[in-house]
Chain A
Amino acid sequence: MRKAITLVGLAVLTSVALSATARAQETASVVTTPEPARHRRIEVGVAFLPMSLGSLTQTPGGFETTVDAKLAPGVSLQAGYEVLVPNGFVPGVVVGIAPQVIWDVQWKEAPQGLDIRKYREDDFMARVAVGWTLAETLRLYVEVLPGFSRLVPVGFDGRNASGFVIAGGFGAAMDLGDRMFANLGGGFQKGYQKLPSEDLNAKNGTEFVRITIGVGARF
């Protein structure tokens, strides 16, 4: 009985091995011409934004007070379309949107007699990026992100501050295969948020050094 099972097993193994060989030969005998990679113009991505070296300006009691902000983590979603395809020295241009959320926007320490107030910052930003291909799979880019921002109080009663925000920076993106890419960048962001008229349009703005660590895909 054991011998029979062994024989059957050997036969199965042999047939599998032979079929594998046959497939390999078939594959080897087919000559295919590689199709040129299709240029993908739509790109989407997600990025982690450690917002560092920041400051937060508030106006308690009518006195404008600017204090260092804690490092605030943020996340950005990006979607863009390549309106200009890079060609030689001509850079590529991507236009899109890049909304982002930043948590834990607060002073490091409060001036004497004041409390620390915590905010969440929602930025609705457009994005224009200009990129140069340095080498295959590697691009350098500069970007500008203008938009609208609001500071939402967290853990205390208060009104949202809102206003214009603009960010700019530079970075590098590298391809991870045909579709995926990763990018690493840095820049600066400044907000001109103000409280509503009920609060006398008092200044409530932020500014940060912005680090971008992201991944994305092209379609």
Chain B
Amino acid sequence: MDRMRTPLLTSLILLVSSAAASAANKVAQANPEPAPAGAPAASPPGTAAPAATPVTTTAAPPTTPGAATVIKDAGGPAPVIATPPESEPASITEVGLQRLPAYAYPEWELRGLKHGSLWLTFHGMQWPYMPSFTDGHRFVIGISGWGWVDNAYEKFKPWGETSSADADRLRYWKQQARMLLRITPTLALDRDYFIQGQVELVGTGDQTISRVDTGGADTDDLWLRVGKWRSWDLQIGRFEGWEVFHLGMGLDFNTFERIGAVGQGASVYQISFYGVTDNEFRPQGAAGNLAAHYYPFRYLRFEMLGTSGSLGQNPAYGVRPVAIFDVGWLKLKFATEYQNKRGLAPTDQTDVTSKGIGGAVQFVFDPHIEFGLNAAQGTVLAIDSSGRVSPTGSITRSSIGGFANISNANPRHTVLFGVGSMLTWTEDQNGIAPNPIDKVWLYQGFAAAQYVFHNAFYIKLVAGYSRGHWSIGSSDPRVEHDNEMYSLRLRTSFYF
């Protein structure tokens, strides 16, 4: 008997559910433009906006009786929705779920060669751009993201008067991966004003090391923003400041060539490029940013970014104003910054102050060539926990660099070649007479080739070279040694 009853019950359940689904479909067809709209009525010219998928959900908890919509005659020829009384709270909220369309990635001015490194940068423009195309409210959850998988080989070849030369003679073969899902709920109050939030959920491919080492924890962006499109906004949370130094198609985040020829033996005299970057990248630890953005003209943009919180264990604050002049073929970027970190305990006299200034000029000659030059200089004055100046921590650092990308501009088979170089040098306050200071320089260069498949899948091969030179003045005679790094990296990435 039980055997008979089970298929009967199953059939009944299926019939009821299919009837309900059919009714829901008919209701949806009868209301093709639900309010608030899940998608713009018409996309701007030149955009390929995929239609938003309206998702109908019940707002009230399922246990609340009477709050859910009742569908009468669901299985009949003309289902009727029984609207709840007006005195009751609205029981259905329609939410637009939208893969970000092309217009969400603004291009007030030419960003760069299509699929090139400059094109993947927004030069301060507000994005994702998700306005209402009517005067009414529009609530949409934007979905986008990207993921990459790197296979990389790296070889260190140190030489010179250093005990760590043999320890630094290393070879690495690594695969790393990172996938990021970007969720951007946006309430457009009308055509101009908006409230927006964004979280970037990160999956990390290398599980053998700390997640902090790979550039972040479980999230990249995590911010809220209010403002007026193309005019101004206020943003708070975890996000990156506007880019000034542009490195081109190589030296990507979390890669070997980005670190350069800095082996394990260089732990005391670390060196890395400086591009007004102390406050640019997402802060690690319990710290975050507050930024005001102002767009007086489409070609002129300003950011005033402030950072506060704890960087590591140290209470810290910082500020980083940026100005960008962008007329498409020419982009000028300028930034300066200040950051201060203090000791946590009252007896801890740690006081680290860093300052810097830098700029960049970039040219885009569409559709074939883009290139740019960067320069920045900064200082760090480090006072340790006992109140003494740290001679190796107090440095002057300078970086200059450039990049160039060329494209075949083929819309079906887009290929880009890119080259880039950067030189960084630092001087500290360490040393003894007649060797008053330590001097370190680091060169980083690369050549890259990239093929883009279906406008979304990128295959990029990057060959990198780096050389570092350490001239250590704290011994007499001065100790000099070098390190070299060769790397080859194949990155496949998917933008969606």
Residue ranges of A at the interface with B (Cβ–Cβ < 8 Å): 50, 52-53, 68, 71, 108-109, 134-138, 172, 174-177, 182, 184, 186, 211, 213
Q: How far is it, in angstroms, between the C-alpha of A97 and the C-alpha of B495 when the chains are bound?
A: 43
> Which residue on B lies nearest to A180, using beta carbons?
B368
Interface size class of B (residues with CB under 8 A): 20 to 34
Contact (Cβ within 8 A) B465 A52? yes
Contact (Cβ within 8 A) B157 A211? no
The winner among A109, A174, A175 for most chain B CB atoms within 10 A is: A174
The distance from the CB of A109 to the nearest CB of chain B, in whole angstroms, is 5
Interface residue ranges of B390-427 to A (CB < 8 Å): 406, 408-410, 412-413, 415, 417, 419
Contact (Cβ within 8 A) B482 A172? no
Q: Does B441 contact A (CB under 8 A)?
A: no
Cβ-defined partner of B486 (8 Å) among A53, A108, A184? A53
Q: Does B463 contact A (CB under 8 A)?
A: yes
A176-B368, A213-B419 in contact; A109/B160 too (CB < 8 A)? Answer: yes
The distance from the CB of B217 to the nearest CB of chain A, in whole angstroms, is 37
Q: Does B445 contact A (CB under 8 A)?
A: yes
CB contacts (< 8 Å) of B223 on chain A: these are: none
CB contacts (< 8 Å) of A109 on chain B: these are: 159-160
The distance from the CB of A184 to the nearest CB of chain B, in whole angstroms, is 5
Q: How far is it, in angstroms, between the C-alpha of A172 and the C-alpha of B413 when the chains are bound?
A: 13
Contact (Cβ within 8 A) A172 B160? no
CB contacts (< 8 Å) of B482 on chain A: these are: 108
Q: How far is it, in angstroms, between the C-alpha of A176 and the C-alpha of B368 when the chains are bound?
A: 6
A176-B368, A184-B417 in contact; A211/B447 too (CB < 8 A)? Answer: yes
Q: Does B111 contact A (CB under 8 A)?
A: no
Contact (Cβ within 8 A) B465 A68? no
Contact (Cβ within 8 A) A172 B410? no
Contact (Cβ within 8 A) A174 B415? yes
Contact (Cβ within 8 A) B159 A108? yes
CB contacts (< 8 Å) of B463 on chain A: these are: 186, 211
> Which residue on B lies nearest to A177, using beta carbons?
B368
Contact (Cβ within 8 A) B159 A68? yes
> Which residue on A lies nearest to B161, using beta carbons?
A109
Contact (Cβ within 8 A) A175 B465? no
Contact (Cβ within 8 A) B415 A137? yes
Interface residue ranges of B147-186 to A (CB < 8 Å): 157, 159-160
Can you list 17 A-B pairs with a CB-CB distance of less than 8 A? A50-B465, A52-B486, A108-B482, A137-B415, A138-B408, A138-B410, A138-B413, A138-B415, A172-B449, A176-B406, A177-B368, A182-B406, A184-B417, A184-B447, A184-B449, A211-B447, A213-B419
The winner among A53, A177, A184 for most chain B CB atoms within 10 A is: A184
The winner among A50, A52, A137 for most chain B CB atoms within 10 A is: A137
Contact (Cβ within 8 A) B413 A182? no
Q: How far is it, in angstroms, between the C-alpha of A146 and the C-alpha of B80 when the chains are bound?
A: 84
Q: Does B489 contact A (CB under 8 A)?
A: no
The distance from the CB of B112 to the nearest CB of chain A, in whole angstroms, is 16
Nearest first, the 8 closest Cβ-Cβ pairs linking A and B are: A135-B413, A174-B408, A137-B408, A109-B159, A176-B368, A137-B410, A184-B417, A108-B159
Q: How far is it, in angstroms, between the C-alpha of A187 and the C-alpha of B410 when the chains are bound?
A: 27
Contact (Cβ within 8 A) A50 B412? no
CB contacts (< 8 Å) of A184 on chain B: these are: 417, 447, 449
- Per DSSP, chain A at the interface is strand
CB contacts (< 8 Å) of A174 on chain B: these are: 406, 408, 415, 417
How many residue pairs link A and B with beta carbons under 8 A? The number is: 56
Contact (Cβ within 8 A) A136 B413? yes
Q: Does B320 contact A (CB under 8 A)?
A: no
A137-B408, A172-B415, A176-B408 in contact; A71/B447 too (CB < 8 A)? Answer: no
Cβ-defined partner of B465 (8 Å) among A71, A108, A135, A186? A71
With A108-B157, A109-B159, A172-B415 already in contact, 7 other A-B pairs whose C-beta atoms are closer than 8 Å = A50-B445, A52-B465, A68-B157, A135-B413, A136-B412, A136-B413, A137-B409
Q: How far is it, in angstroms, between the C-alpha of A68 and the C-alpha of B447 when the chains are bound?
A: 22
Q: Does B467 contact A (CB under 8 A)?
A: yes
Q: Does B280 contact A (CB under 8 A)?
A: no
Q: How far is it, in angstroms, between the C-alpha of A105 and the C-alpha of B408 when the chains are bound?
A: 35
Interface residue ranges of B468-496 to A (CB < 8 Å): 482, 484, 486
Contact (Cβ within 8 A) A136 B410? yes
Contact (Cβ within 8 A) B486 A137? no
> Which residue on A lies nearest to B443, using beta carbons?
A71
Provide the B252-292 mask, 1 if CB < 8 A to any CB of A, else 0.
00000000000000000000000000000000000000000
The winner among A68, A176, A211 for most chain B CB atoms within 10 A is: A176
Q: How far is it, in angstroms, between the C-alpha of A52 and the C-alpha of B408 when the chains are bound?
A: 28
Contact (Cβ within 8 A) A182 B447? no
Contact (Cβ within 8 A) A71 B484? yes
Q: How far is it, in angstroms, between the C-alpha of A108 and the C-alpha of B410 when the chains are bound?
A: 43
Q: How far is it, in angstroms, between the C-alpha of A186 and the C-alpha of B159 when the chains are bound?
A: 25
CB contacts (< 8 Å) of B486 on chain A: these are: 52-53
Q: How far is it, in angstroms, between the C-alpha of A177 and the C-alpha of B366 when the chains are bound?
A: 12
Q: How far is it, in angstroms, between the C-alpha of A53 and the C-alpha of B412 when the chains are bound?
A: 36
The distance from the CB of B478 to the nearest CB of chain A, in whole angstroms, is 16
Q: How far is it, in angstroms, between the C-alpha of A108 and the C-alpha of B469 when the chains are bound?
A: 12
CB contacts (< 8 Å) of B157 on chain A: these are: 68, 108
CB contacts (< 8 Å) of A71 on chain B: these are: 465, 467, 484
Interface residue ranges of B355-398 to A (CB < 8 Å): 368-369
> Which residue on A lies nearest to B413, using beta carbons?
A135
> Which residue on A lies nearest to B481, using beta carbons?
A109
Q: How far is it, in angstroms, between the C-alpha of A213 and the C-alpha of B447 when the chains are bound?
A: 8
Q: How far is it, in angstroms, between the C-alpha of A53 and the C-alpha of B413 when the chains are bound?
A: 33
A53-B486, A71-B467, A213-B447 in contact; A135/B412 too (CB < 8 A)? Answer: yes
> Which residue on B lies nearest to A67, using beta carbons?
B159
CB contacts (< 8 Å) of A176 on chain B: these are: 368-369, 406, 408-409
Q: How far is it, in angstroms, between the C-alpha of A172 and the C-alpha of B369 when the chains are bound?
A: 17
Q: How far is it, in angstroms, between the C-alpha of A109 and the C-alpha of B157 when the chains are bound?
A: 12
The distance from the CB of A68 to the nearest CB of chain B, in whole angstroms, is 6
CB contacts (< 8 Å) of A213 on chain B: these are: 417, 419, 447
Contact (Cβ within 8 A) A135 B410? yes
CB contacts (< 8 Å) of B445 on chain A: these are: 50
